Amino acid sequence: MSELPLAGGALSPEVLRNYIERIERLLDEKKSIGSDITDLYKEAAEKGYDKKAMREIIKLRAMEREARKELEDAVDVYKLALGLED
């Protein structure tokens, strides 16, 4: 198959097909992983764990310590300002 014109060079159908197929495989894996995560949340919920709380903890653990502290401080100030503190 011959190359097709592409901005800044020529497009190779074989190379393009390879990229597309690799992306499709990764999307399939992503879908499977998403399903596995959903199953784990369901399993945890069946054992009495709170899925929302677990999601929040996972989000917090992904943050840098300083960013997490800043967020927690801001939330505390907002809660206090709105009378949500116990």
The better pLDDT of the pair 64, 7 is held by 64
Widest Cα–Cα separation across the chain: 71
Parse the chain into domains and list their residue ranges. Answer: 11-81
> What are the Cα distances from residue 61, in Å, to 36, 37, 45, 70?
20, 17, 20, 14
Q: Report pLDDT digits (tens) over 34-51.
A: 999 999 999 999 999 999
Long-range Cβ pairs for the range 13-22 (8 Å, 24+): none
Q: Which residue has 């197929």 as its token pair?
A: 21
pTM across the whole model: 0.69
3-state DSSP assignment of residue 10? strand
- How much is the pLDDT for 86? 66
Q: Report pLDDT digits (tens) over 1-30.
A: 566 667 667 788 999 999 999 999 999 999
